[in-house]
Amino acid sequence: MSQHQGQCHCGAIRYLLKMKPMRVVNCHCNFCRSHTGAPFSTFAAVAQTRFEIEMGEEHLSRYKVGERGIKHFCSQCGTPLFNQNHKFPGLNMVYLGTLANAHNFTPAINVWCDSKLDWVDGVGTIESKGQGVERS
């Protein structure tokens, strides 16, 4: 059985996926952008029955997004961990960056591309550094 661990930034919440993600998705919707502060969010769809909070459930906060769903995040450091979208009952959409082995998963699809920021497609063509840059 495939298992994958993840946690929030501060480590107050740790979780376990007891399956390989069903699909990895880049979402470009306006809500994901405003909720995460990033140009898009990348998440892994997993069955709720195969997702387990191992530690720190008392630090898990919820934000109800109208009738769309519920966002779950750490009350200590603010890390968004996963969401539950009412259009996809029984699934948790786990934010890929919170998985310890996120580099093992590649997005299969981009959704809400009508909302995508114009410059996103060109990211691979700009100057890239292996580490941060020095202040000039």
Q: Is residue 27 part of a domain?
A: yes
pLDDT tens across the length of the chain (136 residues) = 689 999 999 999 999 999 999 999 999 988 888 888 889 999 999 999 999 999 999 999 999 988 888 999 999 999 999 999 999 999 999 999 999 999 999 999 999 999 998 888 888 888 787 888 777 7
pTM to 2 decimal places = 0.88
In this predicted structure, what is the pLDDT of residue 55?
A: 97
Do 46 and 134 form a contact (C-beta atoms < 8 A)?
no
In a domain, 123, yes or no: no
- What does DSSP say about strands 109-111 and 91-95: parallel, antiparallel, or unpaired? unpaired
Cα–Cα dist 105/87, whole Å: 23
Domain that holds residue 14: 4-117
Residue 19 domain flag: yes
- The CATH number for 52's domain is 2.170.150.70
Burial of 1 (0-12, 13-18, 19+ CB in 10 A): exposed
